Amino acid sequence: MDELDRAIINELQGGFPISDQPFAEVAARFNITEQELIARIDSLLENKVLSRFGPMYHAERMGGSLSLAAMKIPVEDFERVAEIVNAMPEVAHNYARDHILSMWFVLATETPQAHARALKKIERETGYPVYDMPKIKEYFVGLKLTA
């Protein structure tokens, strides 16, 4: 990652323009082409410097459902269960914790009914219960990490 990559990451944490040509608009701020900006973002994703590049939606405001979920998975079965959970398009990300609830993931669906179906599917396919923790109240914490 060079200085331009760092500057791009820092700039994009503040938001992405909503316009007919958002990549061209951002690229102009750095005096580079739209194609170079897209190639740099692709490279940052491919090299795992960034894990994701895209919009964040308020699923509930759009009629959907979103929750944090956790599972108690024995170490010897963690990889198998992670493979099942990660294969589901409703799972945004999944991570291990050194805790009795060893697997945590975010589940997002288009409807509350689809959310319930996804939870049941995970339980059925893994053989373990899912502890679903829907959001009660939303807080905004403005965190910006400088690269």
Determine what percent of the chain is predicted with pLDDT higher than 70: 97
Amino acid at 8: I
Q: Is pLDDT larger for residue 36 or for residue 50?
A: 36
H/E stretch holding 123 reads: helix 112-126
Alpha-carbon gap, residue 100 to 74, rounded angstroms: 9
What's the pLDDT tens digit per position in 62-84? Answer: 888 889 999 999 999 999 999 99
Alpha-carbon gap, residue 6 to 30, rounded angstroms: 12
- Looking at 1.25.50.10, 3.30.70.3460, 3.30.390.50, 3.40.50.620, the CATH number of the domain 59-133 comes to 3.30.70.3460
By the 10 Å C-beta count (0-12 exposed, 13-18 middle, 19+ buried), 37 is classed as buried
User: For the chain, where do the domains classified as CATH 3.30.70.3460 start and end?
Assistant: 59-133
